[in-house]
Amino acid sequence: MSVVSPENPVQSSGFGFAPTENQKMISEMIRSFAAREMTPEKVMQYDEAQQFPHELILKLGELGLLGIIFPEEYGGAG
């Protein structure tokens, strides 16, 4: 019996659940951003202040992550 994991995704009838190279790239970009900008210590400070820092929103925008869910025709990343 095989185990489903990111390294061994489910495959059936030609329909795969494996992430595309673009999805892998975006995932790594977000992981790197979070590791650098959202350490547990920083997140605790944000939580205690009950605020999400404006500068993080700007940085997310610079990475193109704020419009990622919107189609290109509406100014999103598609």
Model pLDDT for residues 3-35, shown as the tens digit of each residue: 666 666 665 556 678 999 989 999 999 999 999
Nearest to residue 66, comparing CAs of 58, 74, 24, 3? 58
Per-residue pLDDT tens over the stretch 28-78 = 999 999 999 999 999 999 999 999 899 999 999 898 888 777 788 877 776
CB 60 within 8 A of CB 36: no
Extents of the domains making up the chain: 20-74
In this structure, the number of other CB atoms found within 10 A of the CB of residue 33 comes to: 15
Nearest to residue 17, comparing CAs of 25, 26, 5? 5
